[in-house]
Structure 1
Amino acid sequence: MSDASTTVGQRLQANRLNRGYTQAELARRAGVSVDLISMLERDVRESMSWASMVKLARALDIDPGVIAGKSSRLDRVPGASALAVRDAVINPDLLELHPDHDGEPTSLAELWRLIERAYGAYFGGEFGVLAAELPGLINECRLLESADPAAAAPLSHAWQLAGSVLVHTGRDDAAAIAAERAIQAARKGNDEWRLATQYGVYCWVMLHQGRADESERLAMRAADAIEPSMSRAASEQIAVWGGLVLQAAVARGSTGDVDGAENYLRMAAAAAARLGTDRHDYWTSFGPTHVAIQTTHIMTSAHRPDRALKASRAVNPQGLFKVQYGRHLLDVSRALLERRRTDEAEETATRALDLSAEWFRHQSVAESLVHDLVGRKTRLNARLRTLLQGVERN
């Protein structure tokens, strides 16, 4: 069966049987309960925590996204293809041009304009639009970079965008290659803060691969390399450093170590207080709101809904990109559900869906949340039906 027609439990069972494990043996290897595996495989439960999914994936020697069923569900935009993005990343001919290309490189100014537009599509949740443009954009950046070293900077961002799309469409290994290429391109420039942000993206990709410890270590190595003097540093430097520390906090929190995550959060909060405002530098974000967002996320993942909801009250939606706010709303909805405030959880999840239906259906956390919301009700209301349609696999 394809991922589009299977449940989490069915995918788990297929991979378990492929390895020749009994439920008890898999539970022992993964360090989870047999009851969890049994309920998932019988579809009594349709979701699990990310930490449990990572443990099971590790025990089965697969990526967590295989169990989550991550796949490409792009809007039907002409030319939109996650495979085309992957092929642009894993391309044996580094300067292969489209047959209709005249061979003249795009100007550096035009490349930056195209990069700006591509980030607008990504943060707006328009993954199909972005996937349609990325192969050509990567090609144009490569072509100019062969003649003008300054084009390595926009090229690094094109690779970053490719990695981001590939994560959302279930191609984490290709995403890691794209993130490495982004780092390599950024190294050719003289902007150490841009390079640091690309390390941060690689940390995010590794986290999706279930490599939390490596993600944390890399984030802090990159942060240590640019650690600012808070009294004298430029705001951009503080923001990039703070973003890396937040990445380490999320990685540590994903392992269940809330105390360790809180140590990082305190460091990030001090940097955010020094800034006094939320910033967007190199298309990454940091500031008081983003510390609150990640605190909410970590506490939600740790099943501490009261602390998550308290942290969420410090989030200022103004200035947040759609996908940033949408992901936060999913955490808030989950925390509300754990507090048995089901109607509020439904309403919050619906607000996330309304921000971008295309982004929403690519979120495995949205799918598990919706199924858990449905499980709390004896009858589907209109809002729940809309949410179920929002996570349906085409």
Structure 2
Amino acid sequence: VAEGWTQYHSAEFDTVMKALPDLISDARSATASGSDDDRRAGFAALGKALQLAGHVAVRMGKTDLALIGLERATDAAGRSSDPLLLPMIVNSMAWTYQRQGRLEDALDIALRTADDMADAGRTGTADGLKVWGALTMSAATSAARSGDYERAAAMTERAEKEAARVAKLPAGGDSRMVSVFSPSSVRIERVRLAVQYGHPNDALALAKGTRLSKDTPPSWRTWLLLDLARAHTDTGDAAGAVKTLESLRRVAPTWMRHHTLAVAVVRDLWALTDHPPGLRALAEFLGVGGQRGETGSVDLAATGSVTGRQDP
């Protein structure tokens, strides 16, 4: 299951989809063990496998299917030995609601679950704080998309202060099985919100000098570079945008193909009168372009129509 999440964060969606049927079947078999402890561990594995299936479904644009999988994951979590599993799956449901435009529902379940975790004293370990932090950042995203930028900023500020505690708490289990939350991830989210709300200079300032922690997944590094490319484009720095996209192509070419923001930025750059060096190669890589001044076309369904972000 952990390897499946690693592949997911590397945009190896075909590999994950091929593995999921057997993975889910094996986890179901584990839930039939004669030992209570083994049975509960089996339900934990099943919950994470179904959660992974839900995430892949969202990436493929099948949000209703994703919610069905996540509802089954919720049932498995309730019968598992992992108290953090249910909050993680709730976070996945909040993300799926965001993708469906159900921002109020997404905000409500993320914030309520984060508060429940704090009230139950589940933020005293690194893993618990990571799950709480991911829920809080999800709520901030929903608030921002609903137009309440001040509320989103307040939640983000609180999350950033709490993220500094993660490294000081007792280490948890396999980081691939827990939500992504650290000073690096919060900074990436702050950059994204600044770009989305028309503050590209703030986004570039936030990113300047930022050092990403070693456990920052490739998917999150991808999102940061994409947001920076958007910010450079919005400030009129076409050359800077191309340079950033070239870096992304070197470190995460598969993710770049699977993200519509990359297509949008390249299209905007291609529409300029003067094309920066390197733009044509990027346009060809993404299937965007044609003759100078034309925006070309690309099958967004083929790229996976991937926007937004989320993790276990």
TM-score bracket relative to the smaller structure? 0.7 to 0.9
Aligned to 1:176: 67
TM-score (norm 2): 0.82
Alignment of 1:228-267 (within 5 A): 233-267=124-158
CA shift, 1:310, in A, is: 1.9
Q: Which one has a bigger Cα radius of gyration?
A: 1
In structure 2, relative to structure 1, the CA distance for the partners of 1:288 and 1:348 (3 Å cut) is: same
Deviations 1:291-331 (A, max 9, x none): 10111111111111122122223642342211110011111
Distance 2:47 2:233 in 1: 40
Distance 1:222 1:366 in 2: 33
The answer (yes or no) to whether the contact 1:299–1:308 under 8 Å persists in 2 is yes
Q: Matched residue of 1:210: which SS?
A: coil
Q: Matched residue of 1:218: which SS?
A: helix
In structure 2, relative to structure 1, the CA distance for the partners of 1:192 and 1:342 (3 Å cut) is: same
Q: Matched residue of 2:92: which SS?
A: helix
Alignment of 1:45-56 (within 5 A): none
Distance 1:338 1:345 in 2: 9
Distance 1:184 1:224 in 2: 21
Q: 1:194 aligns with which of 85, 88, 91?
A: 85
TM-score (norm 1): 0.66
In structure 2, relative to structure 1, the CA distance for the partners of 1:308 and 1:118 (3 Å cut) is: same
The answer (yes or no) to whether the contact 1:179–1:201 under 8 Å persists in 2 is yes
Kindly indicate whether residue 205 of structure 2 is the aligned counterpart of residue 310 of structure 1: yes
RMSD of the TM alignment (CA)? Answer: 2.4
Aligned to 1:390: 286
Deviations 1:43-86 (A, max 9, x none): xxxxxxxxxxxxxxxxxxxxxxxxxxxxxxxxxxxxxxxxxxxx
In structure 2, relative to structure 1, the CA distance for the partners of 1:342 and 1:192 (3 Å cut) is: same
Aligned to 1:128: 14
CA shift, 1:232, in A, is: 8.2
Unaligned stretches of 5+ residues in structure 2: 34-38, 288-297, 303-312
In structure 2, relative to structure 1, the CA distance for the partners of 1:138 and 1:230 (3 Å cut) is: closer
How many pairs does the alignment contain?
280
Distance 1:353 1:165 in 2: 22
After TM superposition, the runs of 4+ consecutive aligned structure 1 residues lying more than 4 A away are: 228-232, 276-279
Kindly indicate whether residue 239 of structure 2 is the aligned counterpart of residue 343 of structure 1: yes
Amino acid paired to 1:247:
S
Q: Percent identical across equivalent pairs? A: 25
CA shift, 1:186, in A, is: 1.1
CA shift, 1:345, in A, is: 0.9
CA shift, 1:380, in A, is: 7.3
Alignment of 1:265-280 (within 5 A): 265-276=156-167, 280=175
Unaligned stretches of 5+ residues in structure 1: 1-114
Q: Matched residue of 2:164: which SS?
A: helix
Aligned to 2:102: 211
Distance 1:229 1:306 in 2: 40
In structure 2, relative to structure 1, the CA distance for the partners of 1:174 and 1:256 (3 Å cut) is: same
The answer (yes or no) to whether the contact 1:194–1:282 under 8 Å persists in 2 is no
